[in-house]
Amino acid sequence: MSTQTESAAGPPAGAPAPPALAVRELTVRFAGLLALDSVSFTVEPGSLHALIGPNGAGKSTTLNVLSGVYRATSGSVRLGGEELTGRSPHEIARLGVARTFQNLAVSPYATVADTLLLGRHRLTRTGFLAAGLRLPSAAREAARHRERVVEIAEFTGLAPYLDRPAAALPYGLRKLVELGRALCMEPEVLLLDEPVAGMTSDERRRTASVIARVRESLGISIVLVEHDMGMVMRLADAVTVLDFGRCIADGPPAVVQSDPDVIRAYLGAEAAEDSENPEGAGSEEVPQPRDGAEETTKEVRS
Ligand SMILES: Nc1ncnc2c1ncn2[C@@H]1O[C@H](COP(=O)(O)OP(=O)(O)O)[C@@H](O)[C@H]1O
Ligand SMILES: [Mg+2]
């Protein structure tokens, strides 16, 4: 294959869009532990790609490699024409990969507006000197960033809280601030590690709808690590399933959901036997509602 045309201005007209992210044979070893074992998947542009699997499967490790926090032992991650492995988190962010963290990382004193503005940092062109000298170009740029922050606050539902200290907000809103901050980077790809973990059901619904709109309205490709299977099945275009660091299934949600290997990984051998004898099923991982309502998240397993 000739690589001549690749150095020109993008792919030729009519060529299929390159994948947003191409992960190939990614392997990560920690001392004696193989956390990722030759994992490959492709994130299509503008799609929501879920990464699921039991605890310890390697989901966060994958996001940590994609964002440059961990180094891959071997394998490749490409964003368009750029190889991401071996680059620093800062460089990867500059190339257009933004992430949120499983635990909040918001300064205790910063307002929501300040925190979102921090996300604009990689897009700031005016140097410190121009800003310090209060040059008109710096003032114009700062005003543009503030406008965009307000737009993103409106998009995420954070507008009423812009002047409040982010750290004082309820948990669900603080998580939205993290998401808003990542959006302020104008990323091409957004990595979300369990964005609704620990939320109330109202907060979950609100966050899931923001995530759906990020893909639909902003066209950002999303890699979503999530335990809430209902949410994954509703939102995802494609699902990759990891188990003990290996990819055990990959495809559309409906196909992956009924894959026997996936059912086995999630429920364990015991439950797989139970499923042949439904009367004895009792090893649900999904928490039961406290009020004893019959409706549970059974759709996941059907
Ligand atoms: N920094 C690290 N050092 C050593 N082991 C790690 C590190 N990060 C993750 N692991 C191990 O790698 C495996 C995968 O972890 P992780 O990616 O966090 O799983 P998941 O997010 O799917 O629950 C686990 O066995 C975990 O203990
Ligand atoms: Mg994790």
**48-81 pLDDT, tens digit each:** 999 999 999 999 999 999 999 999 999 999 998 8
Q: Is the domain of 22 the same as that of 91?
A: yes
Q: What would the two tokens of residue 82 be?
A: 């750029």
Three-state secondary-structure class, residue 124:
coil
Find the 98 Cα to ligand 2 centroid distance in Å: 17
Domain-terminating residue out of 162, 186, 210: 186
Q: Render pLDDT for 276-285 as a digit per residue (tens, 0 to 9).
A: 444 433 333 3
Look at residue 240 and tell me if it is in a domain: yes
Which CATH number covers residue 89?
A: 3.40.50.300
In a domain, 291, yes or no: no
- Note whether 202 and 153 are same-domain residues: no
Gap between the Cα atoms of 1 and 204, Å rounded? 47
pLDDT surpassing 60 at residue 189: yes
Residues 32 and 91 in one domain: yes
Quick one: which ligand is closest to 69's CA?
1
More confident residue, 11 or 219: 219
Q: Distance of CA 34 to CAs 31, 56, 243, Å?
A: 8, 11, 12
Distance 56 CA to ligand 2 centre (A): 7
Ligand nearest to the CA of 57: 1
Residue of 61, 62, 194, 246 best suited for mutating to test ligand 1, as the one with most atoms within 8 Å of CB = 61
Q: Give domain status of residue 298, yes or no.
A: no
**pLDDT of 133:** 67
Among 186, 208, 223, the domain boundary falls at 186
What is the model's pLDDT at position 271?
A: 52
Question: What is the per-residue pLDDT for 269?
Answer: 44
What pLDDT does residue 283 have? 36
The domain tally of the chain equals: 2
203 and 73 belong to one structural domain: yes
The answer to whether residues 262 and 194 belong to one domain is yes
Which residue has the least CA distance to atom 19 on ligand 1? Answer: 56
111 and 257 part of one domain? no
Cα 166 to middle of ligand 1, angstroms: 29
**Which residue has its alpha carbon closest to ligand 1 atom 10?**
35
pLDDT of residue 48: 97
My answer on whether 123 and 264 are in the same domain is no
Residues 30 and 55 in one domain: yes
Ligand 2 ion: Cβ-proximal residues, 5 Å cutoff:
60
With respect to residue 276, please indicate whether it lies within any of the assigned structural domains: no
Domain assignment present for 22: yes
Domain match, 92 and 197 both: yes
The boundaries of the domain holding residue 181 are 107-186
Distance CA(40)–CA(52), nearest Å, equals: 14
Residues 167, 107 contacting (CB under 8 angstroms)? yes
Q: Do residue 170 and residue 192 come from a single domain?
A: no
Report the C-alpha gap between 127 and 132 in whole angstroms: 9
Q: Which residues pair with 26 in a beta bridge?
A: 39
Q: Which two tokens stand for residue 170?
A: 């309820």
The mean per-residue pLDDT over the stretch 290-301 comes to: 33
Distances (CA, A) of 73 to 28, 31, 65, 67, 137: 5, 11, 10, 15, 44
The string of pLDDT tens digits covering residues 122-140 is 666 655 556 666 777 778 8
The end-to-end CA distance of the chain, in Å, is 45
Judge if 80 and 199 occupy the same domain: yes
> Ligand 1 centre and the CA of 26: distance in Å?
14
Cβ < 6 Å from ligand 1: which residues? Answer: 30, 33, 35, 53, 55-61
Confidence band of 98 (pLDDT split at 50, 70, 90): very high
Is residue 122 domain-shared with residue 263, that is, in the same domain? Answer: no
Residue 33's pLDDT band (cuts 50, 70, 90): very high
Ligand number nearest to the C-alpha of 102 = 2
CA of 153 to the centre of ligand 2 (A): 27
